[in-house]
Chain A
Amino acid sequence: MIQTAKRDLSAYASFFAMMPKVFMAYQVWFWVGLVLNIISMAILVYFWRAIYNDASTISGLGLNQTLTYILLAFIFMPLTAIDLIWEIGSNLREGTIIHHLLRPINFQGMNYAQSLGTLVTRLILQIPMVVVAVLLFGLRFPGDLATWLAFIVSAMLGFTVMFFFNWFLACLTFYTTEIWGLGVLIEGMNFFLSGALVPLVMMPEWVRSIVLSIPFAQALAVPVGLLTGITPLSDAPRVWFVQVLWILGMWLASSLFFRVAVRKITVQGG
């Protein structure tokens, strides 16, 4: 048992470690992405400054607090793990999923390790954006350790929620055998529903209740809320508990869906 776990862990570690190398394969893309990111960040900041022209606080948040939230949400965007849907979708389209299913390894575990590798890589690649946010837009990081710890735990839980949720969505491509439309739709929804655009507290009550009843916000708005102090630190255990419930539910749903969906593989060829 322990032997097997050790063996599998070492395989998972290799999948994790592979992701930075995959990202390195596209250096040009890194620079293009950086420029695009700086432009997007500037648009968001000026958008919010314009809104605060007429008011000093909105839903109890001052301009600085909102900007801190928006900038941090921007930086921690990789937590939503949204590219998983493309990853699995293209695997299906190109039939490479067959090779993954032929490996003596848990497919979901392998993908989790890979997603984690992607997350760490992308967060590291966000460092230039942190510099830009601090130097150009005056981002101040919260200083105290307890807040950071609460954030990190919540971020990892939220990332896991989104991993299983994306997995669930990706299973839809088993049926549509088309990913582009689905992927673009989900990415667009994710941008708003994760809370990257507008802090949750500013949303009208009914919108917020919808947003909180679907998983998107768990990976971004919830942990970043803790980090910025919008959600008080004393709420952290409750937040974690809700996230753990989300993980259990999404894990169950995605595993069941995948088990059903995988029977449907009808890769071309005869």
Chain B
Amino acid sequence: MPVIEVKELTKVFKIPKKEPGLGGAVRGLFRPQYENKTAVDGISFQLNAGEIAGYIGVNGAGKSTTIKMLTGVLMPTSGSVKVLGRDPHRQRVENAREIGVVFGQRTQLWWDLALIESLNLIAKIYNVHPVKYRLMLNKFTETLELDELLNIPVRNMSLGQKMRSELAAALIHEPRVVYLDEPTIGLDLIVKERIRDFIKAECVAKGMTVILTTHDLGDIEELCQRVIIIDDGRIIYDGPIETIKKRFGKFREITFETVEDVKGLDLPEGAEMLSTDDHKVQIRFDRTVSTASKVAGLVMNQIEVRDFSLSEPELSDIVKQIYNGALDRDGR
């Protein structure tokens, strides 16, 4: 039996329409106008025990709305959700016992209390056995380096410290299902790395089923075997990460800032010119055919380069390319 089962899930928000100007504001008081916004539009998927799925999409694609329906705090407009065989909205309390949630942009810890107080309280709420709790706390203190944080109130913590605390709070009762909503947002590379390592170690070791939403393809590459890409409320890709990596991971872009205007350039095999602006050239190359040094070397031989930068493809580009049929062309 799948751990998470989503069928034709849809959420429509009724948003009050604000008319411009004072007249509009007054009219809105008496006869409010609403417009319907479909945030999630008939999505279906299943997750088995121990699966870690990346759930990605650009801002406003419907990621968080889906997560909120999965956790039970938001009621679906239509369609159904089953988590461990339960309806998370109707059986909110029973469902809550089995899940752990991190919302990267909010805290579940008590703002004014020292971290240890929050953790003690959470352990009580979830009825974690005191011996077990000691054990978990000691382990988390070590793996997340919490020792200097336990006695500071959350309001005095930095973003990275807060996120480490959040993870401890979300996993201390060893949930079977974990939702991580942008757990690495705004963090620097070192903290990101540490958090990914922790998630990997915890979830894989315990066989947790995880849904991870993120903008960071690095998170996905490190943690997930499967990705679900959502755009405009619909699933546009659901499959192994390998396919995405093979198709999009092999391209890199180099942007050169040049001293003079560029007309034409000789490029090595596997590289193509994307655009030329005045004093700016964008080149994409296939990593399996060419290398950054080959491209850069050849370009620098032909023109004077002031500066250059190397970048990975953006998520939004990938989404755009999927729309343009990139995946169909390659065959899944």
Binding site for B on A (CB under 8 A): 7, 10-11, 14-15, 18, 21-22, 25-26, 94-96, 98-99, 101-106, 263, 265-267, 269-270
Q: In the complex where A18-B121, A270-B39, A270-B62 touch, is A94 in contact with B96 (Cβ < 8 A)?
A: no
Interface residues of B in 93-112 (CB under 8 A from A): 93-94, 96-97, 99, 101, 103, 105-108, 110, 112
Report 21 cross-chain contacts, Cβ distance below 8 Å, ordered by A residue. Answer: A10-B124, A15-B121, A18-B110, A21-B112, A21-B117, A22-B110, A22-B113, A25-B112, A25-B113, A96-B107, A102-B99, A102-B108, A103-B96, A104-B126, A105-B96, A265-B74, A267-B68, A269-B64, A269-B105, A270-B39, A270-B59
Interface check B153, CB cutoff 8 A:
yes
Chain B residue numbers with a CB within 8 Å of A98 are 68, 71, 73, 103, 106
Q: What is the bound-complex CA distance between A26 and B111, given in angstroms?
A: 12
Asked whether A14 and B125 contact (CB < 8 A) given A22-B113, A98-B68, the answer is yes
A104: chain B residues within 8 A (beta carbon): 93-94, 96-97, 125-126
| Neighbouring B residues of A96 by C-beta, 8 Å | 106-108
Whether B93 lies near A105 (C-beta < 8 A) is: yes
New A-B contacts (7) at CB < 8 Å, excluding given A14-B125, A269-B65: A7-B127, A14-B124, A102-B72, A103-B96, A103-B125, A104-B96, A104-B126
The 9 closest A-B pairs by CB, nearest first: A104-B96, A25-B112, A99-B108, A104-B97, A14-B124, A269-B64, A270-B60, A101-B73, A11-B125
Contacts of B107 in A (CB 8 A): 96, 99
Instruction: Return chain A residues, CB-CB under 8 Å to B3.
Output: none
A14: which B residues are within 8 A, CB to CB? 120-121, 124-125
Q: For the complex, what is the distance from the CA of A11 to the CA of B39, rounded to whole Å? A: 36
Smallest CB-CB separation from A14: which chain B residue? B124
A-side contacts of B63, CB under 8 Å = 270
Q: Does B61 contact A (CB under 8 A)?
A: yes
Which residues from B are CB-within-8-Å of A269?
64-65, 105
Q: How large is the interface on B (under 10, 10 to 19, 20 to 34, 35 or more residues)?
A: 35 or more
- Give the distance to chain B from A8, nearest Cβ to Cβ, in Å: 9
- Residues of B within 8 Å of A99, CB to CB, are 101, 103, 106-108
Q: Which chain B residues lie closer than 8 Å to A106 at the CB level?
A: 93
B63 — nearest CB in chain A belongs to which residue? A270
Residues of A within 8 Å of B97, CB to CB, are: 104
> Nearest chain B CB to A24's CB is how many angstroms away?
9
Interface bits B215-241 vs A (CB < 8 Å: 1, else 0): 000000000000000000000000000
Chain B, residue nearest A269 (CB): B64
B13 CB-CB contact with A under 8 Å? yes
Contact assessment for B96 and A102 in the assembled complex, using a CB-CB cutoff below 8 Å: yes
- Would you call B92 an interface residue if the criterion is a C-beta within 8 Å of the partner chain's C-beta atoms? yes
B64 partner residues in chain A, CB cutoff 8 A: 269-270
| B93 touching A11, Cβ below 8 Å | no
List of B residues within 8 angstroms of A7 by Cβ: 127
Output the nearest chain B residue to A3 by Cβ-Cβ distance. Answer: B127
Chain B nearest CB, measured from A266 CB (Å): 6
